[in-house]
Chain A
Amino acid sequence: MKVPVSLTVNGESVSADVDPRMLLVELLREELRLTGTHVGCDTSQCGCCVVHMNGRSVKSCSVLAVAADDAEVTTIEGLAVGDELHPMQQAFHEHHGLQCGFCTPGMIMSAIDLIDRNPNPSEAEIRHWLEGNLCRCTGYHNIVKAIEAAAAEIRSR
Chain B
Amino acid sequence: MYPFDYFRPDSVSEALDLYRAAEERQWLAGGMTLLPAMKLRLSAPSALIDLAALEEMRGIEVDNGCAEIGAMTLHDTVSRSNLVRESIPALSALAGGIGDSQVRNRGTIGGSVSNSDPAADYPAAVLGLGATIRTTERTVAADDFFTGMFETCLRPGELLLSVRFPVPTRACYMKFPNPASRYAIAGVMVASFDDGVRVAVTGAGPFAFRVAEMENALTTDFDPRAIADIRIPVQNLNEDMHASPEYRSHLVTVMAQRAVDAAI
Contact = CB atoms under 8 A, between A and B. Distances in A.
Interface string B160-204: 000000000000000000001110000000000000000000000
Contact of A62 (B2, B31, B180, B182): B31
Describe A's contact surface by its main secondary structure.
Answer: mixed
A137 interface: no
Nearest to A134: B180
A77 interface: no
Interface residues on A, range: 20 to 34
B230 to A, nearest CB: 32
A139 to B, nearest CB: 16
Contacts, number: 76
Contacts of B71: none
Given A43-B36, A62-B36, A132 B102 contact: yes
Interface string B1-33: 111111010000000000000000000100110
B1 A21 contact: yes
A131 interface: yes
Given A43-B39, A45-B180, A66-B6, A110 B31 contact: no
A48 to B, nearest CB: 11
B95 interface: no
A131 B180 CA distance: 9
B18 to A, nearest CB: 14
Given A50-B102, A67-B50, A67-B52, A44 B6 contact: no
Given A20-B4, A64-B35, A114-B101, 17 more contacts: A19-B3, A47-B100, A50-B102, A57-B101, A57-B102, A62-B32, A63-B35, A63-B106, A64-B6, A66-B6, A67-B31, A113-B105, A129-B101, A130-B101, A131-B101, A132-B100, A133-B100
